[in-house]
Amino acid sequence: MIVAAGAWAADGAAAPRVEARSSDLFAVGLVQGDTMSIHVSRIADNSPVRDAVITVVLRGIPHPTTAETDGGYSLRTKDLMLPGAAAVDFHVMQGAAEQSLKGTLDIASAGGETADKNSARQLWWWVLNFTVCGAAFYLFTRRKSAKT
């Protein structure tokens, strides 16, 4: 997955994002749907960390990542589509060195689409509910007037 620097910055404003750092590494994860694009770099010289094994612990479940040709990593899981805040732990293993970078991911904006769907569904439920109640009231009053 090749991402231009301008596209990374433009998408970062709208998409959920997580940042985590250790004493010498910095990780940024950008979520789009069920995929997270991860870039890990060294703080000293901003060089990308390549040839590492990165595992992302999301909501207590470890997920392996896939190395991409641009030096980044990607993770695909349905857990990224769950709304709300989640603790994210990037485990970076390169050679004998192992580091853990912790951050928090808030996927509130992704939950907005389902809230709109649910509110429309609830609106139709209320319309149906009032229609049925109105029809029942009409039939009840008509039946009562027919008896008298």
pLDDT under 50: residue ranges of the chain: 1-13, 109-112
Residue 107: predicted pLDDT: 84
Tokens of 122: 């609830």
Residue 10: predicted pLDDT: 46
Q: How far apart are CA 142 and CA 70, in angstroms?
A: 74
CATH code matching the domain that covers 5-106, chosen among 3.10.450, 2.60.40, 1.20.1510, 2.60.220: 2.60.40
SS3 assignment, position 119: helix
The continuous run of DSSP H or E covering 25 comes out as: strand 25-32
